[in-house]
Structure 1
Amino acid sequence: MRVFPIWLFMAMLVLVPFMSAPAHADEVKVIVNGVPITNTDIAHRAAFLKLQRRKGISAKEDMVEQVLRSSEERRLGINITDKQVDEAYAGFGKKNKLTPKQLDMILAHAGVTSAHFKQFLRVQLGWGEALRARFRAQSGAETADIVRQMLEKGEKKPSAMQYTLQQVIFVIPQRDWKAIFAKRKREAEAMRAKFNGCATTRASMKGLIDVTVRDLGQVLAPELPTDWADDIKKTKVGSTTPLHTTKRGLEYIGICSGKEVSDDRVAELVLESGKDQNKMAKELNDKYIAELKKKARIIER
């Protein structure tokens, strides 16, 4: 989700006078699948687009698309709770160094209102789930078709390494970081040197304090975290990666086992890994919205 710089919020607070509710009744401008969009809805969205600095976008059209998304989410049974919306709202404020009350005030002064923004968040959260469901269905079908064509041509089905991993964390509290970092590093390096497979890790840690051992299970190469992927791929089975310094302390990952696998899930990951994910997401969104518009009942007033 896009984060707006704090100076932009404060500029809007200073430059835009407080917008009180209109004295006249709301006037319905568009009806989308039986859901009315009023002139007030459109005014709030216009103010929101201005706050986002999104130029050349019709506020009415943006509201039409939001109602289409919301209708599709209901059809799919997607339900975003008030708690999820409130958490997203608070998280958005936190990223911009604002409390929820400060965000309420700024949105009101900008002519957006917290209620309008929360409804926007609710629909966006639900739409993310709808897109993921559509992507899984679509990519699965496409992958099956691609693999079928590859096999017909005598080509091999895509494969990838599947690792069984174990994470070891030497915890360093922030308050003690400088005082004990060197000592903890020596302990971690000593345990790395003694590593003799994942089955004996916990037993070898006896006597050490603040050490966490996590069995991560099986992970396919395309799914490896980017900050660990290279080291894991370079490490032999039965050995550990080099130490990584993280916010938790010092960590390494043991490679319990590794094997090359080939199935539909692997093929999907391998084929998708070479694509531009942002471009794919935009194309999927645009196509989905176009389909919904084609089937929708939209009445202009």
Structure 2
Amino acid sequence: MTTKFSFRIFAAALCCAVASWSGIGLARAQSVAVMVNGEPITNFDIEQRSKLDKLSNQSRTRQQVLDELIDEKVKIREGKKFGVNPSDSDIDSSFASMSSRMRMSPDQMVKMLAAQGIRPGTLKSKIKAEMVWTSLVRGRFKDSLLVGEKDIQAQLAAKGGDDKSTTESFEYQMRPVVLIVSRGSGAGAVEARRKEAEALRSRVQSCADADRIFKALPNAAIRATVVKTSADLPPALREILDKTPVGQMTAPEATKQGVEMVALCSRKPTTADTPMKREIREKMYAEKFQAKSKDYLRESRNAAMIEYR
């Protein structure tokens, strides 16, 4: 009995020692660098964010990385005070959108990060902080971020904005049309459909004509009406539409789907922003947002409890 009892005591002591040694190793890997409002930022967090920096060709000091992580903790905490707390699905959706812009699936993005020793949570935590802060600043300071028409006009005058591109804006109603060409088809097939498109184009004098002709045509499609203003369109397309008579079609263009054209249903003046006014408005808004964000973050950080270890 004494031997068995002694063995049990020894085994228990050994287990405790192993757990203690494991805890020490884990603590070293996860040693806390800073506490922000009672929440830790570990050296591992800093290492992960530094690796993310390298992936985007950024070069920052350890302190700069740490300051960013502190700011993010402050932003998340401030967001919770006002009920701004994106769900996991919101963050995953943003992660997927970022992956798509990089021409990857979310799974491919995860694998790419893993190859660099980066956990997906490292990027997702950065995404969450940006989502929270953008929503918070826009929501709390909405009125002060508005850009007045007088300010825009003053900027236009300073730029010498007296030509039509800065003073006139139009609303375009369009019906996109595509003559489908099967994938893998040669240049001859595309050229044949282009000639067919040119012939059909000459018969169209209204969007009603376009609707009737292309709905009856095999391997062709006419899409629903699209409404855009001058500021919504790239300059090249805007120029084409301005030169196209209302009721007629733009010249055929080869695309991935086949041969495409646009039937211009109407073009009428609108009070919506011109491209130049849109550019000025967005720039002034961004400047106001950055200034307000900087001031708000400084105030929030000053009120936070930050303890360096």
| Conserved? CA contact 1:166–1:254, under 8 Å | yes
What is the 5 A alignment of 1:156-195? 159-195=168-204
Q: 1:221 to 1:91 in 2, by over 3 A?
A: closer
> How far off its partner does 1:62 sit?
1.6
Deviations 1:190-220 (A, max 9, x none): 1211111112222122542121212333311
SS at 1:194's partner residue?
Answer: coil
User: Residue 269 of structure 2: SS of its match in structure 1?
Assistant: strand
Q: Distance in 1 between matches of 2:111 and 2:176?
A: 41
Taking a change above 3 Å as real, the CA distance of residues 179 and 280 of structure 1, as seen in their structure-2 partners, is: same
Deviation at 1:181, TM superposition (A): 0.9
Task: Give, in angstroms, the shift of residue 160 of structure 1.
Answer: 1.1
**What do the CA deviations read for 1:95-139 (whole angstroms, capped 9, x no partner)?**
59x93563253132xxx3232123223444555666777898666
Selected match of 2:243 from 215, 234, 258:
234
Question: Alignment identity in percent?
Answer: 19
1:23 to 17, 26, 31: 26
User: What does residue 52 of structure 1 align with?
Assistant: 56
How much does 1:178 deviate? 3.1
Cα 1:22–1:149, aligned 2, differ >3 Å: closer, same or farther?
same
- What's the TM-score once normalised by structure 2's chain length? 0.69
Over 3 Å counting, the alpha-carbon distance change for 1:145 and 1:104 in structure 2 is same
| CA deviation map 1:226-264 (0-9, x unaligned) | 5522211222222222222222221111211111122xx
Letter in 2 for 1:288: S
CA distance in 2, matches of 1:135, 1:220: 28
Residue 273 of structure 1: how far off its partner (Å): 2.3
Name the structure 2 match of 1:113: 119
Q: 1:68 to 1:194 in 2, by over 3 A?
A: farther
- State the one-letter code of the partner of 2:226: G
Q: 1:119 is aligned with what amino acid?
A: S
Q: Over aligned residue pairs, what C-alpha RMSD do you find?
A: 4.0
Q: How does 1:80-229 map to 2 (within 5 A)?
A: 81=89, 83-85=92-94, 87-88=96-97, 90-91=99-100, 94-95=103-104, 99-100=108-109, 102-108=111-117, 112-124=118-130, 141-146=146-151, 159-229=168-238
Q: TM-score, normalised by structure 1?
A: 0.71
- Higher Cα Rg, which structure: 2
Contact 1:89 1:118 in 2 (8 A): no
Number of the residue aligned with 2:18: none
Residue 9 (structure 1) aligns with: none
Residues 249, 128 of structure 1: CA spacing in aligned structure 2 closer, same or farther, 3 A cutoff? farther
Pairs aligned (count): 269
Deviations 1:244-296 (A, max 9, x none): 2222221111211111122xxx248652325785x974773464144222233
Go from structure 1 to structure 2 and tell me whether the alpha carbon gap of 1:36 and 1:186 turns closer, same or farther (over 3 Å shift).
same
Distance 2:25 2:235 in 1: 51
Give the SS at the match of 1:257. strand
State how far apart, in whole Å, the 1-side matches of 2:218 and 2:142 are.
Answer: 43
Q: Say whether the 8 Å CA contact 1:131–1:285 is kept in structure 2.
A: no
Q: 1:146-168: per-residue Cα shift (whole Å, max 9, x none)?
A: 37989xxxxx9954111111111
Structure 1 CA distance, aligned partners of 2:307 and 2:262? Answer: 60
Tell me how far 1:222 sits from its aligned partner. Answer: 1.0
User: C-alpha distance in 1, partners of 2:239/2:83?
Assistant: 39
Letter in 1 for 2:293: Y
Residues 138 and 158 from structure 1, CA distance in 2 versus in 1: closer, same or farther, beyond 3 angstroms?
farther
Instruction: Look up the SS of the partner of 1:239 in the other structure.
Output: coil
Question: Which residue is 1:77 aligned to?
Answer: 84
Cα shift at 1:63: 0.9
Distance in 2, Cα, partners of 1:294 & 1:146: 28
Q: What is the CA–CA distance in structure 1 between the aligned matches of 2:300 and 2:175, rounded to whole Å?
A: 50
Gap runs ≥5 in structure 2 = 1-23, 156-161
Q: Which runs of 5+ in 1 are unaligned?
A: 1-20, 151-155
